[in-house]
Amino acid sequence: MGIISKIFNRMRSPHINYQPLIEVRVFKDAILHNLHEYQKKYPKVKFAPVLKSNAYGHGLVEVAKILDKEDTAFFMVDSFYEALILRRADIKTKILILGYCRPKQLLENTLGNVSFGIMDLEVLKNLAAKAKKNINIHLKIDTGMHRQGILLAQVEEAIRLIKSNKNIFLEGVCSHFADADSQDQEFTKAQIVEWNKAVKIFKQNFPEIAYYHFANTAGTFYSESIDANVCKAGIGLYGINTSPFTEMNLKPVMEVASIISSIKNIPAGDKVGYNITYQAKHAMRVATVPVGYNEGVDRRLSNKGGYKVAGIFCPLAGRVSMNITTIDVTDVPNVKLEDEVIVISHNRTDANSVENIAKMCGCIPYEVLVHLPSNLRRVVM
C-alpha cells in the first residue's frame, strides 16, 4: 500500500471520542519529588531510574518522559523491546538493558546510546568471538544472590575475554542486593565485601569504566560502604521506601480511578457475587464498579478490601470478578451512577493504598503495581 493510500485510509477512519471507565493517574510532581529526595540524601552517587515492567505499572513512556531531562545516570529496562519502545517515543536518555537479549540483538543492535547487561560467562564468550561492531556492556557480578552474574572465580576469564575483542567496551560493572530490605544485615554486608573485592580488580584492569552500581532502593542505605557511583532508583522512585533503616519523605505516585456502573438496594439475608460468599446482614445498598482481576484487582481482596467513594471507604461485597467488583455504598449519601470510585489511593494511610493492599493480600507492593495491565490508560497529572 502506497503512502497516499495510507493517508487516505486514515482520513476516512472515524474519529471516536472514547473516555475509558478506568484511569491510572500518575502524579508528575510526586515522581520528581521522590527522585530529588534521594538525590539530596545521597549526593555522592547518581541515580538510575528503573523503568522495567512498564515502570512498575506506572507507564513506561509516561514515566520516561517525566524523567528524560533529569540529572540521572541512565534508564534501566529489562528487555530490548522496552528499549525499542523508549527510542520510538523519542526518549533521549542513555538506556541499560538488564535482561537477557538474544545473541542476534546483541551483535546487530541499531538502537542508539543503549548498553547491554551481560549476566553469564557463556554470553560473554559468544560476544568476544563474534562482535564485529562496537557494543557497550555492563558486566554483572554474582556477589552471593546466585540469580544472575559471573562468579568471582570467573572474573579473570571475563577480563581476558573483554580484552580479546576491541569492539567490546566495558562501560559498567554491577551486582544486586538479595536482602537489603531486611533488619538482618549480615548477608548484605558479606555481599558488600565481595563486591568491593571485584571492583578493585576491575579498576586495575579498566580505569575507563564509567559506572559501578550495586544498590537498589533499600540498598542506598549502604552507599557509603559500597565502592560504587550509581544507585538504582526502583520502588523508591514510585513512592515506597523498603529500607528498614532510612526515613524518606516519599510520595506515592499512582492513583487508580473508575466509576459506579450500577446501584441497587438488597434486603437482609440476600447474597452477593460468585459462590455466594457474602450475605447482607441488614438492608443495604450495593454498587458495581467495572474493575476486576483482569484490571489488576487482586482476587484475594474479595470480602475484605474496599474502594473510596466521596471520601468514604466502601468494603468489597463478595468475590472479585473478572471485570466487576461489588461494593457496599450504604454509607455514601446521594450516591449515583458514574460517581468516581478510587480503586487504589495515592494516600498511603488509606486502606486501599498500594502498601495496605499488599498487606491485605499477603504480597509485596511491587506485585500490586505491576499487575495493572498496560492497556489501561495512564494519565500524567
Q: Residue 198 carries which side chain, given as an amino acid letter?
A: A
280 φψ region: left (φ > 0), alpha (ψ -120 to 50), beta (else): beta
- Contact between residue 381 and residue 28 where contact means Cβ atoms under 8 Å apart: yes
Half-sphere exposure in the Cβ direction for 150 (13 Å, CA): 23
Q: Any residues with CB less than 8 A from the CB of 346 and at least 6 apart, and which?
A: 25, 27, 30, 239, 251, 252, 253, 254, 255, 353
- What are the start-end ranges of the E strands in the chain? 23-26, 46-49, 75-77, 95-97, 114-118, 135-140, 168-174, 211-213, 230-233, 254-259, 262-266, 271-272, 278-279, 284-289, 306-309, 312-315, 325-328, 340-344, 377-380
Could you tell me which of 249, 256, 351, 342 has the C-alpha nearest to residue 27? 256
- Contact between residue 253 and residue 30 where contact means Cβ atoms under 8 Å apart: yes
Spatial separation of the C-alpha atoms in residues 366 and 197, rounded to whole Å = 31
Spatial separation of the C-alpha atoms in residues 91 and 55, rounded to whole Å = 14
With both helix axes pointing from N to C terminus, report the angle between 155-163 and 121-130 in degrees, rounded to the nearest 10.
20
- Strands of the 168-174 sheet, one edge to the other: 46-49, 230-233, 211-213, 168-174, 135-140, 114-118, 95-97, 75-77
Q: What DSSP character marks residue 14?
A: P
Q: State residue 286 phi and psi, 5-degree precision.
A: -120, 155
Three cell numbers, residue 235: 520502588
CA-angle at 221, arms to 220 and 226, nearest 5°: 70
Q: Which residues are catalytic?
A: 52, 274
Count of H helices and E strands in the chain?
A: 11, 19
